[in-house]
Every structure is written in structure tokens, then in C-alpha cells.
Amino acid sequence: MESNAQFSIGLQGGSNLSEMDFTNNPEYRFTEVNYSQGFIGGLLIQYLNEKHAGVQAELNYTQRGWIEMDTIADNNLKFKNRVNYLELPILTHVNIGGGNFRMMFNLGPYIAYALNAKESVTDLNNGAEESKDITFNKDEHNRFDFGLLAGGGFEYRMSFGKLAAEFRYTIGLGNLSKIKSQESEVSQFRVLALLVRYTIPLSKPPD
């Protein structure tokens, strides 16, 4: 019996905007928390075992972070935080339509591991800036993260490969900080990303 499945491999890259959710933290009640821009990119394997559906596994390098504006007591300090992760999403992939141009959607969980982190502080009164690398402490930080992501976009099927653009939203469910008394009861990432990918089929695609 002839198989209708297709394997593809590919590369993807793009930009993301991330921030930290500090829910239920009275320390941040008067502090503004903003998005930070970063890079996301990596490898993917796509397996379509149905005409319009399958599984997509990715291995991404993703830069996440957040910016805090501390204006309490005329401090005027800007804290920029960056955490770089290795991320593994396992997604359900669906494409809709026929022909070469199709809509597509991705949905599923991910796990991630923090490779390194950095913090910079800028005094907005005089422009002075200091930065330092963050040393992870197992009693203070969670290097592993997990959560859910959902994305949608378009793909164009060419004679050899597929070109796609996707907008996705990631909800982190793992807390970065373990210290609830000093930080927040919740310290989870929220990430918006725009990705462009190119995949090459290793077998004939389903029609």
C-alpha cells in the first residue's frame, strides 16, 4: 500500500517581542514593564501523515527578555533583562486550502532551557549604563521553562520546497524565579514572534 506521508526539513528565523508577567507582585505596582526585542531561529522537521495535517518539531535558539522602567522616588532607572533559551516545540500542524498558496496553523507545547542571561541598568538622568552576566543559582532560578504556543500564517508551495510566514504567541507556564518573597508570585514569559521558514521535502507531499 502506497504511503501518503511526507517528511520535510527546514530552517526558520525571525524576530520576537517578549515581556515578563509579574502577576500579584506588589513590588512592581508602580514599575512599568515593557517588551524587549530579540531573535528567534532554528531547525525544524515536519511530518504530514494526512492530506492537510501532521506534526512539526522544532529546535530554536530564542532570545527572551523584558524592560523595567523604575520611576519610584525619581530613580529614572531602565533595567533591560535578556535570557537566551534553547527551545523545543512539538506542534500540531494544519494547512487549509488547495493549490500552491495555503493558510496554515500550528499549536502545541514547548520546553526550553536557559543557556545564559544578562542584565543592564541605565540611569536615564545621566545616561550611565552598567551591564553584568547573570549566574544561575538552582535555589533562585528555574533554567527550565515550559508552556504553550499558537501560530498562524501562510505558506507557498514551490516546485522544490515551501516558503512560509507565521505569526505566533507563546505563553510561558514555568516561573523564572524561585524567590517569591523578593520577586513575584508569577514570573512567566509572554512572547510575540514573526517567523519566516523554508522547508525542503524529503518525500512526495500529499496533494
Note the pTM of the prediction, 2 decimals.
Answer: 0.87
Q: How many CB atoms lie within 10 A of CB 171?
A: 14
Residues of the chain whose pLDDT is less than 70? 1-4, 24-30, 71-73, 180-184, 204-207
Cβ contact 195:40 at 8 Å: yes
- Per-residue model confidence (pLDDT) at position 1: 40
> Can you give the pLDDT at residue 93?
95
Closest by alpha carbon to 164, among 108, 88, 111, 94? 94
φ and ψ of 44, to 5 deg: -150, 155
Residue in the block written with cell 514593564: 33
Pairing of strands 77-96, 36-48: unpaired
pLDDT digits (tens, 9 = 90+) for 92-137: 999 998 888 999 999 999 999 999 999 999 888 887 888 899 899 8
72 and 30 in contact (C-beta within 8 Å)?
yes
